[in-house]
Amino acid sequence: MTVSSRLLLSSSVLVAVAAIQGCAVSRRQPLRNSFLPPNTVPAVPRGEITEPPPDIRASLPDKTPPRFFGSGPEAPPPRPGPADQRLRRAEERFQTGKRLLATGDRDGARREFDRAIDILLASSENLPDRQRIEKRYEELVDLIHRYDLEELGAAEPDRLLTFEKSPLDEILELTFPLDPRLKSKVREEVQATLSQLPLEVTDPVLSYIHYFSSDRGRRTIQAGLRYAGRYRPLISRILDEEGVPRELMQLAQAESGFMPRAVSRKSATGMWQFVRFRGREYGLQQSPYHDDRLDPEKSTRAAARHLRDLYQQFGDWYLAMAAYNCGPLTVERAIQRTGYADFWELRSRNVLPRETANYVPAILAMIIVIKNARDYGLEDAGADAPLEYDTLELTAPAHLPLLADAADRPVSVLRELNPSLLKNLAPAGFQLHVPKGTAMEVASALDLVPAERRNSWRIHRTGGNETLAAIARRFGSSVGSLQSANRALTGDPRSGDLVIVPAAPRPEPRSVARKAPAARRTATARSSPAKKPAAAVRVAQAAARPAAAARR
């Protein structure tokens, strides 16, 4: 209904409409302007000076729709459905468990955590919004397991940082047979595949496709696809912004399996395997406390710009990929020696390092296999959920246990979001990633602690009827110290209060990094032999949630 047509409605029409539709009319937005007063401004003789007419909009009521007699109160909000009620009950149990954990009651916390899991497990398969319940189930199992790994809230001591072994070291050293039956099949797949990167089917590419079709090769792809889920949206966005084909995301699959802390035998580090000098060339700073090469966002930006620069230098994406592996000077010399600026020609003349000669075919094979996942039995490869976080800049050094206190998360969550940290201490100026939606909460909590004390002090969220004496015993402090640090407290804190806990600075470990043994190159927190929550163990044994069991 247009404005002009609304102005034609008389009051008698409005009353009739109200009688028929009752309160429904009170919610119809198009009737708001039906109450414009008539234009009664008298005509002004030509040339006579007068004040401008009043703005009739100023005489209108506010934008609230008109209420009619008998329309009754506004409709109450909808009642929570069965899924909402179950999620609320599980959340109450989980929060109760965290409060008990804060008081040191580990057995009580474990019982409440198990009850939260049991509430979600008991959901009917036909329950509406079951996907929400399954998602929260996965999140709670992960959080509870993290608390378990940290001995249910015990402060995590400084420890040596371990690196994962790059899968590239094994793949490019192997040779694989060629299956002639693959050629026609792969050519058909490539013809039907959309790709920003030209895809060529050569014998070396086919040999790697044959490998990735085997059980061992398929496991390599599946592991990468699982980790890729965490970073795929981030990497795709950055590659688009830098004008690099999205298919080159698979360089990270070959280089690191998408593991931010991968390291090669040549000391190339991070998801994109930068050596020190190349990382600094593209703005990846390194210090005793952090290494930007381990930061997925910063290293992806650097890798995209490096690849774009290499493409501009050689005018070919295959040569750019080769130069990314062995360095632009090596590729440039190979071109000068042969006179050919073509990767396949350089490969056939054996003027490239063996690893580089296999590097490009392996990546092309990965791209083809992943783009045709169903044909290679990869359609069910479960990907991790994308990591979502907020970022805040630290104005003073702060150690991870304090930051975890401020975020109300286990320390391992912050470690996962900040893989570039080499120690438990985040330096001033560090761009800290915190769980999505918690930046303001973390910043406010940190403001309670003096800047010069954030490298050692803690924050404690009280639970139940916890007293200052109990908090002092838990942290090995004294009531006097707590009172001195929390002058606003006139007595014992209430449940949910934040209490500053003074602590002496802790010495830093002498060594900050070591390589993980080859046999443990894919080990993560979820594969730790530490005891899991009882409910989580029951789920794993019953195989009720295969994906969840794999995540743990």
User: Is 316 a domain residue?
Assistant: yes
Identify which of 18, 22, 30 has the alpha carbon closest to the alpha carbon of residue 73. 22
Residue that terminates a domain, selected from 337, 352, 376 = 376
Identify which of 320, 367, 365 has the alpha carbon closest to the alpha carbon of residue 341. 320
User: Is 415 a domain residue?
Assistant: yes
Query: How much is the pLDDT for 134?
Result: 79
Domain with residue 497: its CATH number is 3.10.350.10
Once rounded to an integer, what is the mean pLDDT over residues 376-404?
Answer: 89
pTM for this one?
Answer: 0.67
Query: How much is the pLDDT for 20?
Result: 39
Pick from 131-140, 186-195, 434-443: least confident: 131-140
Domain span at 404? 389-501
User: Is 511 a domain residue?
Assistant: no
Same domain assignment for residues 131 and 187: no
Same domain assignment for residues 172 and 153: no
Same domain assignment for residues 397 and 452: yes
User: Is 112 a domain residue?
Assistant: yes
User: Is 40 a domain residue?
Assistant: yes
User: Is 106 a domain residue?
Assistant: yes
Query: How much is the pLDDT for 84?
Result: 81
Same domain assignment for residues 361 and 228: yes
Residue that terminates a domain, selected from 376, 405, 422 = 376
Instruction: Answer whether residue 297 shows pLDDT above 90.
Output: yes
Instruction: Answer whether residue 154 shows pLDDT above 60.
Output: no
Residue that terminates a domain, selected from 344, 376, 408 = 376
Same domain assignment for residues 298 and 357: yes
- pLDDT tens-digit readout, 75-116: 555 667 777 888 888 888 887 887 777 667 778 888 888 888
Rounded distance, CA 406 to CA 93, Å? 21
Once rounded to an integer, what is the mean pLDDT over residues 498-516?
Answer: 62
Same domain assignment for residues 394 and 363: no
User: Is 200 a domain residue?
Assistant: yes
CB-based contacts of 280, cutoff 8 Å, min separation 6 = 286
State the total domains in the chain: 4
CB-based contacts of 507, cutoff 8 Å, min separation 6 = 158
Same domain assignment for residues 352 and 405: no
Same domain assignment for residues 315 and 216: yes
- Residues 207 and 177 sit within 8 Å (Cβ to Cβ): yes
Same domain assignment for residues 51 and 173: no
Instruction: Answer whether residue 381 shows pLDDT above 70.
Output: no
Instruction: Answer whether residue 124 shows pLDDT above 60.
Output: yes
Query: How much is the pLDDT for 344?
Result: 97
Same domain assignment for residues 320 and 188: yes
Rounded distance, CA 523 to CA 163, Å? 10
User: Is 383 a domain residue?
Assistant: no
Pick from 191-195, 440-444, 529-533: least confident: 529-533
Q: How confident is the model at residue 420 (pLDDT cuts 50, 70, 90)?
A: very high
Same domain assignment for residues 261 and 170: yes
In this structure, are strands 262-263 and 161-165 parallel, antiparallel, or unpaired?
Answer: parallel
The amino acid that residue 27 corresponds to is: R
Most confident by average pLDDT, 117-121, 186-190, 375-379: 186-190
Same domain assignment for residues 370 and 417: no
